[in-house]
Amino acid sequence: MHEYSIVQSLLDSCEENAIANNASKVHQVVVKIGVMSGVEPELLRTAFDTFKEKTMCEDAEFIINMQNVLIKCKTCHKESILEKLEYCCPACKSIELDIIDGEDMYLMQLELD
């Protein structure tokens, strides 16, 4: 379960940001997880709830926003959201694609006190 190591890094980042902003507590943590990131949202939530104790995030609300896969076709140049994990352009069916979003996980927002 690599979600545990991801959460540890996330908690460290939250605390670093809180300290840099002279905050003593994190009230809300918002992350964006791409559907192709390999991160399982419910395992991440469980890991966050488990490891946040005795940190600045102890009482923080954890919000997960899922990001669909956004592609740009190299053939027809159209940007599309892939509704299914079928690696082809919905417009022209080309498989020559660039993935623009949906492969990563990002810390998007912190609410600090």
Task: From first to last of the 113 residues of the chain, give the pLDDT tens digit.
Answer: 589 999 999 999 999 999 999 999 999 999 999 999 999 999 999 999 999 999 999 999 999 999 999 999 999 999 999 988 788 999 999 999 999 999 999 999 999 99
Strand 69-73 to strand 105-112: parallel, antiparallel, or no bridges (unpaired)? unpaired
Domain that holds residue 94: 3-112
pLDDT at 1: 54
Q: What share of the chain is helix, strand, coil (3-state, %, to 5)?
A: 25, 35, 40
| 3-class DSSP state of 11 | helix
Element (H, E) at 6: helix 3-20
Q: How many domains is the chain partitioned into structurally?
A: 1
Instruction: Kindly report the CATH number assigned to the domain that includes residue 16.
Output: 3.30.2320.80
Give the Cα-Cα-Cα angle 1, 11, 3 (nearest 5 degrees).
Answer: 10
